[in-house]
């Protein structure tokens, strides 16, 4: 099969790129290893202060219908195992797809936080719990503990609660190798303050205004009630961490320990709490493996290694574009706009049409506008991360202008 | 474990499929993943590890960690978390 | 806290410096230390991190041509019998025998002669008919016409081999500097005086180049030219499966790819199959001259997979988790160079084992020891492993 | 308390710390020594954790290794699927 564009990943970025391309009369195929379209979108469920309930499953289904109407071809349950210049997309089952352009929109994966006992069945990455709960409609457990304090943990806690689960608490990860800062009450309060604008969340608003200054952060961690505070009925336990998960054949309990305001475990404060599931939230990391032939750069503020890319979403490899979380961890709405931007950039390159140049320019602005309006920010310094990327791209273009075709 | 009633998402699809896991017969909902179908039947342990014989189940939920791998017929290392359960499916625990 | 983490070198002089910590370098360091020498071993990466961790695990005797090649391999194979005891740890050595599958009448003709010559040379190898071959190796395809089998073929875990030699060498006082790249050889009056490394200079009068396919780059700054070129081999690694291979398995096309220069299959494809203790299958492989290009085009993987499925259809449903790319040091006659340099005193080359590094690792340590110390049980081989055997024909 | 780091190969934190202390300091060396990252997920789950252990034990910065050798196949595919592209020349 010969296509104008092949898109890897059917998440919000990939699918919106596909719709945009198809509307511009380009032949486009979307490949995904999952059987359903939508990527991480399918599990999302939260109340947006402006637009009401955001039901990822419905949005994904709607986008899929729209895509099919405009002629997008979906190849699902195909594992892409290599992308070779030309472009040749190698898939399980050995179907041959060649495409003039490729968009890699493989999203992000979760960064694990290992805890003794975390291999026991019943311990899930928080994203897995989200999909089971909101998409599959199967509760991950009856009594659930959450490890890690971040936007995804808050969101999923609320979603589990909505579905009738009993959340025993959101806890800090154990102190140690893997969670040095994340395991301290003080720095966690500091981090929470960066999410102060998380509108649906009253406690965060409080923490945000409380924790703007270092001094107040310190006070906050000292005066943070040892029993925790409830955020929409879920106890947020910033003075406790989970030190192990117990069970023989599956999760049966967690062991928690009290923390001093400096984050040190208080002696003899271990407590065992019966649960049947534990969710671990360790943050998201861009998933770049299929774009590893591109030049990649490390930008902490974007979530780690990301393919070097222009503000128009093109990479160092000719005719290879990226969009969505592979470029930095952000919400679905930003990903969708990035998808549209990548698509318009490709159409502009294919046609050289001046009107498209204008569309690309205004879509770049749209991405920035949506980013500025986002109600959930996963990476607090995302704006400066994006600036760094633009600088790095400009440097790259400058350095390689004689040797590379970076158009 | 099934969320029959949901304040936002409304009623649940009631179309069922029948499948087996390690020879035992179970009922799942049409369109759901193998992992979801098993969890709905309170099955969390999908296999035991090769060296230490430790129980493992679904972990990442997006097909990356391969912890939930099962055998379907002669097909090895099928990821329960991203593979749809279908009528008559014969699922087996996979060693290793 | 590890001493290797800190930059800089603690020891600034050594009696002998071994460059390269693969299965060859570590074996040499161990044997030299055992004979009382003070040795330092450096590697630009880590122990066994290059060719020695990108190879198959077979120790085949029956694939060798009778003569010197065979004698070396046999002697080395015998050393394996006591190696784990000497090293004080397991290297997952197993004398589980080896099978060579035969598919075509043409291969049968070639293998009949090959087996005949080997039997004459005293190798314990026999031809099996189809039924016997399937009994020996039940996973073979039904359309094979026979096989050759030797109970003396064996296998080892290459990762454990270099680590085992290194650990034992360390115990005998060898200092191992990883992440330390040799960037020059210091000379004076036609003699080695030191090795310049990325972490400082080590003064020494004896340096051993055990860099396998990378030996030429060291040779370049030693001023002593040499002819070893990289031959790329690709091996597929499978997920863990229950034990399905008895010992090691090759097919006759592999033997042909190895020994017949005229009729090379595309990409030098021939099956080699082994299974590690952990359950992973190593499915080889290819032989190509592509310089040090690590990028493998999918056509090569397709070709390896296609051939493997043809010889062993039972592999069809097993998943491949990655590919391994290794560069084998090719000399042209299948034998390594173990020799002192005539131009530069104190410079010794011990490289060029191509695909036999694992099989010849134990004996290579002894060869170099005997070369340096004089006499010794392996010294009879040394006159045949000199570099001047290539004087007439330049390979590069 | 000890804890599994590489879930596929069942490698413990203590195994990795011991390897680093024995001089196996880089990502690749630790992999070759302990098998961490050698399993079916090819280090997708433990790759970043290994970096953190290395940094912690060596008291250095977290190595910003991309940890992604361009190693195909990027997904574990069946040998039979891989074979379908072969045999054209024959």
What is the CATH number for C104? 3.30.9.10
Last residue of a domain, one of A259, A280, A301: A280
Cα distance between residue C111 and residue C117, in whole Å: 10
pLDDT of residue A222: 58
Dihedral sign computed on CA atoms, order C298, C300, C302, C305: negative
User: How long is chain C?
Assistant: 396
Q: What is the average pLDDT across D26-50?
A: 93
| C242, C134: one domain | yes
More confident residue, C211 or A233: C211
pLDDT tens per residue, range A42-64: 999 988 777 889 999 999 999 99
Q: B65 at the D interface (CB within 8 A)? A: yes
As beta bridge partners, residue B56 has B47
One domain, residues A166 and A271: yes
Do A382 and A303 reside in the same domain of the chain? yes
Question: In the structure encoding, which two tokens stand for residue C87, read together?
Answer: 């090293």
Residues A82 and A134 in one domain: no
Measured between alpha carbons, how far is C45 from C47 in angstroms, rounded to an integer? 7
Which percentage of chain C shows pLDDT scores above 70?
94
Distance CA A132, CA A154 (A): 17
Q: Is C79 a member of any domain?
A: no
- Residue B5's Cβ-side half-sphere holds a number of Cα atoms within 13 Å equal to 2
Q: What is the ipTM for the molecules in this complex?
A: 0.92
C298 touches chain A (CB under 8 A): yes
The confidence score (pLDDT) of residue C220 equals: 80
Say if CB A9 and CB A102 are below 8 A apart. Answer: no
Q: Say yes or no to pLDDT of D68 above 60.
A: no
Which residue, chain included where needed, has tokens 């025998």? Answer: C97
Using 50, 70 and 90 to split pLDDT, how confident is the model at A200? very low
Q: Say how far apart CA A384 and CA C306 lie, in whole Å.
A: 50
pLDDT tens for C296-344 read 999 999 999 999 999 999 999 999 999 999 999 999 888 999 999 988 9
Instruction: Provide the 3-class DSSP secondary structure of residue C321.
Output: strand
- Average confidence (pLDDT) over B38-62: 96
| Segment C12-16 mean pLDDT | 95
Q: What is the CATH number of the domain that holds A351?
A: 3.50.50.60
CATH of residue C219's domain is 3.50.50.60
Q: Are residues C136 and C245 in the same domain?
A: yes
Q: Domain count of chain C?
A: 2
8 Å CB contact between D77 and D40: no
**Count of domains for chain A:** 2
Give the count of domains, chain D: 1
Q: Return the pLDDT at A383.
A: 92
Indicate the fold that domain B16-93 takes in CATH: Ubiquitin-like (UB roll) (3.10.20)
Residue D90 in domain: no
Domain membership flag for residue D48: yes
> Which of C163, C308, C319 is closest, CB to CB, to D33?
C163
Residues A185 and A274 in one domain: yes
Q: What is the pLDDT at residue C395?
A: 43
The D residues from 20 to 79 touching B (CB cutoff 8 Å) are 39-41, 44-45, 76, 78
Q: What is the pLDDT of residue A210?
A: 46
CA nearest to A174, candidates A227, A244, A97: A244
The mean of the pLDDT values for chain D is: 86
Residue D88 resides in a domain:
no
Q: At which of C330, C363, C381 does a domain end?
A: C330
C5 in a structural domain? no
pLDDT digits (tens, 9 = 90+) for A122-150: 999 999 999 999 999 999 999 999 999 88
**pLDDT tens, position by position, A87-120:** 999 999 878 799 999 999 999 999 999 999 999 9
Is residue A16 situated within a structural domain?
yes
Domain-ending residue, one of C304, C330, C356: C330
A8 to each of A94, A290, A354, C152, how far by Cα in Å?
A: 16, 9, 28, 50
| Domain co-membership, C188 together with C321 | no
Question: In terms of domains, do C357 and C385 share one?
Answer: yes
| The two three-digit tokens of residue C226, written as one number | 């040499």
Same domain, C175 and C241: no
Residue range of the domain that includes A336? 2-109+284-400
Query: Which pLDDT belongs to residue C10?
Result: 52
Tokens in use for D28? 């690749």
Q: Are residues A245 and A124 in the same domain?
A: yes
Predicted confidence (pLDDT) per residue in C334-371, tens digit: 899 999 998 899 999 999 999 999 999 999 999 999 99
Task: Flag whether C4 is in a domain.
Answer: no
The yes-or-no verdict on residue A271 having pLDDT over 90 is: yes
Output phi, psi for D16, to 5 deg. -70, -45
Name the band, by pLDDT with cuts 50, 70 and 90, for residue C289: very high
Q: How far apart are the first and last CA of chain B?
A: 28
From B52's Cα to the closest Cα of chain A, the distance in A is: 12
Backbone angles phi, psi at C105, to 5 degrees: -60, -35
**C266 contacts chain D (CB < 8 A):** yes
CB pair distance less than 8 Å for A137 and B9: yes
In a domain? residue A407: no
Query: Looking at residue A356, what is its pLDDT?
Result: 96
Maximum CA extent, chain D:
57
Range of the domain at D30: 4-83
Identify the three-state secondary structure at position A309.
strand
User: Three-class SS string for C39-57?
Assistant: EEEECCCCCCCCHHHCCCC
Residue A405 lies in a domain: no
Token pair 């042909």 in the structure block, residue: C256
Looking at the structure, do residues A353 and A210 belong to the same domain, yes or no?
no
For the cut 90, the answer to whether the pLDDT of residue A175 exceeds it is no
Kindly determine whether residue C321 and residue D32, on different chains, have CB atoms separated by under 8 Å: no
Query: Chain D contacts of A81, Cβ < 8 Å?
Result: 72-75, 77
Task: Measure in Å the smallest separation between the Cα of A249 and chain B Cα atoms.
Answer: 6
CATH code, domain carrying D47: 1.10.10
Q: Which helix (H) or strand (E) holds C167?
A: helix C158-171
Residues C324 and C350 both lie in one domain? no
pLDDT for C186 beyond 90: yes
From A234, A261, A280, give the residue that closes a domain. Answer: A280
Which residue, C279, C312, C330, sits at the end of a domain? C330
- Per domain, the residue ranges of chain B are 16-93
**No. of H helices and E strands in chain C?**
9, 19
Q: What's the Cα-to-Cα distance from A158 to each of A125, A197, C251, rounded to whole Å?
A: 16, 17, 60
Pick the last residue of a domain from A217, A245, A280: A280
Contacts of B77 in chain C (CB under 8 A): 239, 319
Percentage of residues of chain D with pLDDT beyond 70: 83
Please judge whether B82 and A123 are an interchain contact, meaning their C-beta atoms are less than 8 angstroms apart: no
Highest mean pLDDT among C262-271, D53-62, D81-90: C262-271
Residues C233 and C371 in one domain: no
**Alpha carbon distance A127, D53 (integer Å):** 24
Query: Is C314 touching B (CB cutoff 8 A)?
Result: no
């Amino acid at each position: 099969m010969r296509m104008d564009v092949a898109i890897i990943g059917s998440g919000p970025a990939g699918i919106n790129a596909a719709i945009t391309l198809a509307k511009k009369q380009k032949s486009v195929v979307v490949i995904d290893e999952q059987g359903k379209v939508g990527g991480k979108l399918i599990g999302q469920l939260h109340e947006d202060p402006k637009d009401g309930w955001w039901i990822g499953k419905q949005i994904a289904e709607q986008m899929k219908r729209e895509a099919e109407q405009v002629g997008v071809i979906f190849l699902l349950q195909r594992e892409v195992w290599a992308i070779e210049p030309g472009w040749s997309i190698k898939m399980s089952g050995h179907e041959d797809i060649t495409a003039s352009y490729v968009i890699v929109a493989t999203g992000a994966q979760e960064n694990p936080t290992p805890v003794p006992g975390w291999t026991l069945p019943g311990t899930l990455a928080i994203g897995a719990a989200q999909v089971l709960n909101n998409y599959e409609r199967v509760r991950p457990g009856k009594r659930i503990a959450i490890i890690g304090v971040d936007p995804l943990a808050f969101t999923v806690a609320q979603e589990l609660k909505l579905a009738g689960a009993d959340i025993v608490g959101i806890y800090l990860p154990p102190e140690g190798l893997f969670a040095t800062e994340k395991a301290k009450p003080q720095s966690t309060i500091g981090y929470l303050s960066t999410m102060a604008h998380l509108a649906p969340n009253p406690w965060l608003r409080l923490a945000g205004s409380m924790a703007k200054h270092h001094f107040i952060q310190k006070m906050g961690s000292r005066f943070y009630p040892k029993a925790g505070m409830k955020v929409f009925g879920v106890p947020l336990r910033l003075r406790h961490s989970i030190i192990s998960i117990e069970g023989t054949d599956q999760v049966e309990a967690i062991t928690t320990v009290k923390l001093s305001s400096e984050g040190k475990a208080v002696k003899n404060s271990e407590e065992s709490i019966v649960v049947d599931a534990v969710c671990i939230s360790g943050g998201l990391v861009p998933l770049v493996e299929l774009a590893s032939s591109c030049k990649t750069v490390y930008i902490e503020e974007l979530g780690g290694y990301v393919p070097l890319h222009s503000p128009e979403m093109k990479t160092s490899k000719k005719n290879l574009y990226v969009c969505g979380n592979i470029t930095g961890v952000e919400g679905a709405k930003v990903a969708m706009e990035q998808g549209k931007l990548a698509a318009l950039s490709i159409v502009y390159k294919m046609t050289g049409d001046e009107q498209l140049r204008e569309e690309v320019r205004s879509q770049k602005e749209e991405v920035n506008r949506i980013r500025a309006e986002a109600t959930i920010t996963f990476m607090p310094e995302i704006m400066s991360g994006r600036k760094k990327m633009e600088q790095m791209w400009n440097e790259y273009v400058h350095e390689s202008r004689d040797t590379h075709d970076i158009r | 474990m099934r969320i029959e009633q949901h304040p936002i998402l409304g009623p649940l699809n009631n179309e069922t499929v029948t499948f087996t896991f390690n020879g035992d017969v179970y009922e799942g909902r049409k369109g759901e993943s193998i992992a979801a179908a098993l969890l709905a039947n309170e099955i969390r342990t999908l296999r035991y590890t090769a060296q230490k014989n430790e129980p493992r189940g679904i972990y990442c939920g997006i097909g990356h960690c391969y912890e939930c791998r099962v055998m379907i017929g002669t097909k090895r290392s099928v990821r329960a978390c991203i593979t749809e359960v279908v009528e008559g499916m014969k699922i087996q625990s996979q060693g290793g | 806290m590890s001493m290797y983490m800190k930059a800089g070198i603690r020891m600034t002089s050594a009696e002998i410096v071994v460059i390269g910590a693969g299965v060859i370098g570590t074996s040499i360091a161990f044997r030299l230390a055992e004979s009382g020498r003070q040795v330092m071993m450096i590697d630009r990466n880590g122990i066994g991190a290059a060719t020695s961790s990108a190879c198959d695990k077979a120790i085949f005797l029956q694939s060798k041509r009778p003569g010197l090649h065979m004698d070396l391999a046999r002697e080395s194979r015998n050393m394996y019998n006591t190696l784990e005891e000497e090293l004080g740890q397991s290297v997952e050595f197993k004398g589980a025998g080896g099978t060579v599958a035969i598919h075509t009448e043409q291969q049968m003709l070639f293998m009949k002669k090959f087996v005949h010559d080997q039997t004459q040379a005293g190798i314990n190898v026999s031809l099996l008919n189809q039924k016997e071959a399937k009994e020996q190796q039940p996973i073979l395809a039904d359309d094979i016409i026979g096989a050759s089998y030797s109970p003396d073929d064996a296998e080892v875990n290459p990762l454990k081999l270099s680590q085992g030699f290194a650990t034992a060498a360390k115990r005998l006082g060898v200092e191992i500097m990883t992440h330390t790249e040799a960037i020059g050889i210091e000379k004076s009056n036609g003699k080695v005086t030191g090795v310049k490394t990325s972490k400082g200079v080590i003064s020494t009068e004896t340096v051993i180049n055990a860099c396998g396919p990378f030996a030429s780059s060291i040779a370049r700054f030693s001023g002593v030219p040499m002819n070893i070129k990289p031959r790329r081999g690709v091996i597929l690694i499978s997920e863990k499966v229950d034990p399905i291979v008895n010992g090691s398995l090759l097919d006759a096309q592999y033997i042909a790819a190895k020994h017949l220069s005229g009729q090379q299959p595309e990409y030098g494809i021939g099956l080699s199959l082994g299974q590690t203790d952990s359950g992973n299958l190593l499915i080889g492989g290819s032989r190509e001259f592509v310089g040090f290009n690590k990028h493998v085009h999918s056509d090569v993987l397709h070709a390896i997979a296609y051939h493997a499925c043809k010889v062993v259809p039972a592999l069809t449903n097993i998943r491949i988790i990655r590919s391994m790319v290794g560069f084998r040091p090719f000399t042209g006659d299948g034998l390594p160079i173990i020799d002192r340099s005539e131009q530069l005193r104190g410079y010794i080359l011990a490289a060029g084992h191509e695909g036999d590094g694992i099989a010849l690792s134990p004996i290579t340590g002894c060869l170099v020891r005997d070369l340096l110390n004089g006499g010794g049980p392996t010294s009879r081989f040394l006159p045949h492993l000199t570099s001047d055997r290539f004087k007439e024909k330049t390979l590069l | 308390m000890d804890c599994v780091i590489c879930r596929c190969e069942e490698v413990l934190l203590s195994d990795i710390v011991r390897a680093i202390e024995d001089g196996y300091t880089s990502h690749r060396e630790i992999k070759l020594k302990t098998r961490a990252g050698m399993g079916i997920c090819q280090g997708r789950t433990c790759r970043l954790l290994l970096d953190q252990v290395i940094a912690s034990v060596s008291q250095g910065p977290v190595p910003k290794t991309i940890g992604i050798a361009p190693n195909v196949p990027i997904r574990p595919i069946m040998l039979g699927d891989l074979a379908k592209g072969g045999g054209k020349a024959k």
